Amino acid sequence: MSVIDDIFKAYDIRGKVGTELNPEIVRVIGRALGDWLPTKGPVGVGRDMRPDSKELADALIEGLREQGRDVIDIGEVTSDMIYFAVGNYKLAGGAMITASHNPGVYNGIKFCGEGAKPIGEETGLFEIRDLAKKNQFTAAAKQGELSDKDIVEGWITHALSFIDASKLKPLKIAVDAGNGMAGKIFPELEPYVPFEVIEMYFDLDGTFPNHIANPLDPKNIVELQKTIRATKCDVGVAFDGDGDRAVLVDERGEPLSGTVMTTLLSQFFLEKYPGSTILLNAICGRVASETIEKAGGKAIRTRVGHSFIKSSMREHNAIFAGEHSGHYYFKNNYMADSGLIAALVGLYILSTSNKPLTKLVEPLRNAYVQINEANFEVKDKEGVLKYISKAFGGDGKQDWLDGLTVNFKDSWFNVRPSNTEPLLRFNAEAKTQAGLDKLVAQVTKLIESEK
């Protein structure tokens, strides 16, 4: 099963259905997970709406039960709901069959341990991989039991606990579920909030007939933008395929960047929990850390990626963490990320502000100018990074927290290697557009000359 090496990534499992990911392989992975999990007790299994997700979930469940693990099947859910299930019901671990925002030909598996702790490359994922490759497992005394559990009501109650729903004021909102799992879960929230909701692509369809459920790609929110403007909505929300990521779009149709959303939510949590620690990934813009520090909080940078951030949150007892990619993590959500909680808190902030969203975030948007992440295919990622570092020499302050970051007085840039592809990812920010253009041209030239 050499394909196992290919499908185990830094944070989860991803592969093409049939050729890389099929029931036989997933059953073996289920057995490996059952043997590896250090905590005794049942395992929760959820799945998204892709055509093959139930078949793969059944195979995973079969493998877990072969190793004597009791399994709780929570059915079709968003990824953040598996974290909630594991944390709330004190399970030994959990697995979610999903490929998130990837096209329909892909599927995958996300794992977590007890307490919704992350299972990534540094926290056991590759140990599970190696067990699966050996395909030699402990003989169980008996097959594990299987039960079903509907956690939707508990999940909605939990999400609402992050706000004071009695203070919500009416909003007109457009919500684009992208035919993903948010289309099943968001309607469960609607009876509890005074919002007029225009539902877009709420029918579950893992072939993504309208657009890929990746709200970070501008072309995937075009219809949402048109709907917001045409129907005079106060705000829009776009979810990714497995519902653990949400993007707010203002009344003019402009999306809030991950940095702006992180800053907005940070202000909310610092008002509730003064002096708290908040984590930011290495490519979040400066306005986030500056706002946190000004509000009396402590901002700490961390590596990109959910397994790193979740571990770091526990280390620093952080109340909240934000990624520029649109993932948001909450201490009171078992240190796990959630698209629904992030969207709900964002809508609460807007609803109680008595301001249009554009005015609310204007100071945050105007503080700096930032590029959309650029990707460069290179053969020697480490070699290119060292070349860039040497080229800047004594200019700026360099660190290697996650790839190479170089900080200047009015600007910064980060170039980091992809964990899954032969790519370098480039982010940059400056006080002015002219300063940003100059910096981007300089770094791009260095990358292009070496790739």
332/419 same-domain check:
no
294/423 same-domain check:
no
Final residue belonging to a domain, choices 102, 123, 150: 150
408/359 same-domain check:
no
| Both structure tokens of 162 | 């992050």
At residue 104, φ and ψ (nearest 5 deg) are -65, -15
145/7 same-domain check:
yes
Least confident of 267-271, 285-289, 290-294, 376-380: 376-380
Helix (H, G, I), strand (E, B) or coil at 26: helix
Q: Which residue has the tokens 């620690």?
A: 277
Kindly report the number of other CB atoms within 10 A of residue 302's CB atom: 23
* One-letter amino acid for residue 85 of the chain: A
14/128 same-domain check:
yes
Q: Which residue has the tokens 């948010």?
A: 182
300/432 same-domain check:
no
Sheet holding 320-322, edge to edge: 298-302, 277-281, 320-322, 328-330, 336-337
Position 69 in a domain: yes
Position 160 in a domain: yes
| Both structure tokens of 417 | 């290697």
197/274 same-domain check:
no
- Rounded to whole angstroms, how far apart are CA atoms 232 and 56? 42
Total domains, the chain:
4
| Res. 131: pLDDT tops 90 | yes
Task: Summarize the confidence of residues 350-355 as an average pLDDT.
Answer: 97
Furthest C-alpha separation in the chain: 68
Angle CA 419–238–342, to nearest 5: 75
245/318 same-domain check:
no
Final residue belonging to a domain, choices 130, 150, 170: 150
| Res. 451: pLDDT tops 80 | no
Q: What is the pLDDT of residues 33-48, one digit of tens each?
A: 999 999 999 999 999 9
Looking at per-residue pLDDT, the higher value among 120 and 236 belongs to: 236
Kindly report the number of other CB atoms within 10 A of residue 157's CB atom: 10
pLDDT of residue 102: 87
- Determine contact, residues 374/270, Cβ cutoff 8 Å: no
- Rounded to whole angstroms, how far apart are CA atoms 81 and 338? 8
The fraction of the chain above a pLDDT of 90, given in percent, is 93
Task: Summarize the confidence of residues 104-115 as an average pLDDT.
Answer: 96
Q: With CA atoms as reference, report the closest residue to 427 among 381, 369, 377.
A: 369
Task: Give 442: exposed, middle or buried? Use CB within 10 Å, 0-12, 13-18, 19+.
Answer: middle
Q: Average pLDDT of the chain? A: 96
Give the chain's radius of gyration (CA, Å).
22
**CB-based burial, 30-41: b 16+ in 10 Å, e otherwise:** bbbbbbbbeeee
| Res. 237: pLDDT tops 90 | yes
Least confident of 8-17, 156-165, 216-225, 345-354: 8-17
| Both structure tokens of 148 | 């079903």
CA distances from 128 to 3, 119, 239, 367, 419 (A): 14, 10, 30, 44, 18
Q: With CA atoms as reference, report the closest residue to 60 among 35, 25, 84.
A: 25
CATH code of the domain containing 215 = 3.40.120.10
- Determine contact, residues 122/307, Cβ cutoff 8 Å: yes
> Could you list the residue range(s) of the whole structural domain that residue 177 is in?
154-249
| Res. 1: pLDDT tops 60 | no
Task: Summarize the confidence of residues 277-303 as an average pLDDT.
Answer: 97
pLDDT of residue 174: 99
| Both structure tokens of 240 | 């990714």
Position 347 in a domain: no
> 146-148 and 71-76: which strand pairing?
parallel
314/333 same-domain check:
yes
Position 225 in a domain: yes
44/143 same-domain check:
yes
Least confident of 145-154, 301-310, 394-403, 427-436: 301-310
Position 348 in a domain: no
CATH code of the domain containing 377 = 3.30.310.50
360/374 same-domain check:
no
- Rounded to whole angstroms, how far apart are CA atoms 373 and 418? 12
* One-letter amino acid for residue 123 of the chain: T
pLDDT of residue 308: 84
Final residue belonging to a domain, choices 220, 249, 278: 249
- E strand or H helix at 349, and its extent? helix 339-353
Catalytic residue check, 100: yes
13/134 same-domain check:
yes
- Determine contact, residues 44/82, Cβ cutoff 8 Å: yes
Model confidence at 450, pLDDT cuts 50, 70, 90, reads: confident
- Rounded to whole angstroms, how far apart are CA atoms 7 and 414? 27
**Of 2, 53, 79, 100, which one is the catalytic site residue?**
100
Model confidence at 420, pLDDT cuts 50, 70, 90, reads: low
- Determine contact, residues 102/108, Cβ cutoff 8 Å: yes
Helix (H, G, I), strand (E, B) or coil at 176: strand
